Amino acid sequence: MKRTWLVTGGAGFIGANFVHHLLDHHPDDRVVVYDKLTYAGNLDNLRDRMADPRFAFVHADICDRAAVEAAVDGHGVDTIANFAAETHVDRSIVAPDAFIHTDVLGTHTLLEVARERRLRYHQVSTDEVYGHVPDGASTEADPIAPRSPYAASKAAGDLLVNAYFVTYGLHTTITRGSNNIGPYQYPEKVVSLFATNAIDDLPLPVYGDGRQERDYQWVGDHCEAIDLVVRRGQPGDVFNVGTGTSITNLEMVELILEALGKPASLIRHVEDRPGHDRRYALDVSKLQALGWRPRHTPQAAIVRAVEWYAANPWWWRPIKSGAFREYYEQMYGQRKEIAVGPGAAPA
């Protein structure tokens, strides 16, 4: 079935990769990117798609109901895929308001427009809604137990989506993805930050002991999963999306340094993030039963991501020399270096 998509947050990292995926794989689909262009939104992420007759761009906020309605009605949208969000945990610790605004109220606004028009609605969510997972792997049936303001705002979005399915019979689906990496990731997230820092021989600020675990997945694999879930998911379905393998941050850092031929002396252990979830891990068997398989291990995804940043300084250099500098100073300037290892106080 051909679709006309409203891809909210389509100028951000995963949303833009999803737009590339749709235009490459579904020649009859049309795509309307709807984006507020916050610090994380960047039309450079879509620069080779702007002239495609199947593509349109709307500059607006998902909390602005009239603007959402105008975009949906004006373009004949039948499917909303909501990628728009405030997404960085560290920013949510310093300033949570925008997270509640966009991730909760924005999701509600989109759901209302979808409910009135009986649109297909897909919510892009995160493994962080499950909270810290000391052992084993989260299944979709597990309770959600978010611990950061970011994770709580995303969990609230998930609960609203489920309520619209149960109460109004809206055809909703949710995907809960693990950490994505790849092209066009704003260099505040760890792999894009560390790759671009290491290229410039700048320090890599590892939080605490670096033994936290994440399931780093290739963004293109995640996009394929979302596409499949929108086409094949049943109303109310929730799917985890990840490789099913979590690795430590220290392993991730070593892979980045090795791929770039840089020394371990760039590593700095710094004060930990407050409330840092030490481990996320996903059971992805439900999605695999739908026929999806990740094409990359975390290790392969990290190396491929680093290669992209090494080959595409045109994309990240302007970002890192702009307002990002102020952010970096605020986030890392006061952060004390700490000692880790045998004999050191616990991180």
Binding site for ligand NAD (CB under 6 A): 8-9, 11-15, 35-38, 40-41, 61-63, 83-87, 102, 106, 124, 126, 154, 177, 179-180, 186
Cα–Cα distance for residue pair 155/160, rounded to 1 Å: 9
Selection from ligand NAD, ligand TYD, none that 294 binds (CB < 5 to 8 A by kind) is none
The nearest distance, CB 89 to ligand TYD, in angstroms, is: 4
The reply to whether 251 belongs to the active site is: no
Q: Which does 180 bind (CB under 5 to 8 A by kind): ligand TYD, ligand NAD, none?
A: ligand NAD
Instruction: Give the per-residue contact string, 182-201, with ligand TYD (x = CB under 6 A; - = no).
Output: -------xx--x--------
Asked if 206 touches ligand TYD (CB under 6 A), the answer is yes
Comparing CB distances to ligand TYD, the nearer of 119 and 305 is: 305
Q: Which is nearer to ligand NAD, 40 or 301 (CB)?
A: 40
Q: Euclidean distance between the first and final Cα of the chain, in Å?
A: 53
Q: Is 97 a catalytic residue?
A: no
CB 177, min distance to ligand NAD, A:
4
Residues 334, 155: Cα–Cα separation, whole Å: 31
What does 205 interact with, of ligand NAD, ligand TYD, none (CB < 5 to 8 A by kind)? ligand TYD
The listed partner (ligand TYD, ligand NAD, none) that binds 13, CB under 5 to 8 Å by sort, is ligand NAD
The single residue among 214, 222, 296, 320 that binds ligand TYD, judged by CB under 6 A, is: 214
Distance between CA atoms of residues 131 and 279, nearest Å? 8
CB of 80 to ligand TYD, least distance (A): 24
- The 3-state secondary structure of the chain reads CCCEEEEECCCCHHHHHHHHHHHHHCCCCEEEEEECCCCCCCHHHHCCCCCCCCEEEEECCCCCHHHHHHHHHHHCCCEEEECCCCCCHHHHHHCCHHHHHHHHHHHHHHHHHHHHHCCEEEEEEEHHHHCCCCCCCECCCCCCCCCCHHHHHHHHHHHHHHHHHHHHCCCEEEEEECCEECCCCCCCCHHHHHHHHHHCCCCEEEECCCCCEECCEEHHHHHHHHHHHHHHCCCCEEEEECCCCCEEHHHHHHHHHHHHCCCHHHEEEECCCCCCCCECCECCHHHHCCCCCCCCCHHHHHHHHHHHHHHCHHHHHHHHCCCHHHHHHHHHCCCCECCCCCCCCCC
Binding string to ligand TYD for residues 225 to 264, with x set by CB under 6 A, is what?
Answer: ------------------------x---------------
When CB distances are held under 5 to 8 angstroms depending on the partner's kind, the choice from ligand TYD, ligand NAD, none that residue 215 binds is: none
Question: Judged by CB, which is closer to ligand NAD: 225, or 347?
Answer: 225
Alpha carbon distance 137, 132 (integer Å) = 10
From the list 35, 127, 213, 221, the catalytic residue is 127
Give the residue with the Cβ less far from ligand TYD, 72 or 247. Answer: 247
Which of ligand NAD, ligand TYD, none does residue 242 bind to, with CB < 5 to 8 Å depending on kind? none
How many amino acids of this chain bind ligand TYD (CB under 6 A)?
A: 12
227 is catalytic: no
Q: How is residue 160 written in tokens? A: 């609203």
Among 328, 346, 185, residue whose Cα is nearest residue 269: 346
User: Measured from the CB of residue 47, what is the shortest distance to ligand TYD in angstroms?
Assistant: 25
Partner interacting with residue 38 (select from ligand NAD, ligand TYD, none; CB below 5-8 Å by kind)? ligand NAD
> Could you list the active site residues?
127-128, 150
Question: Which residues are near ligand TYD by CB under 6 A?
Answer: 89, 128, 179, 189-190, 193, 205-207, 212, 214, 249
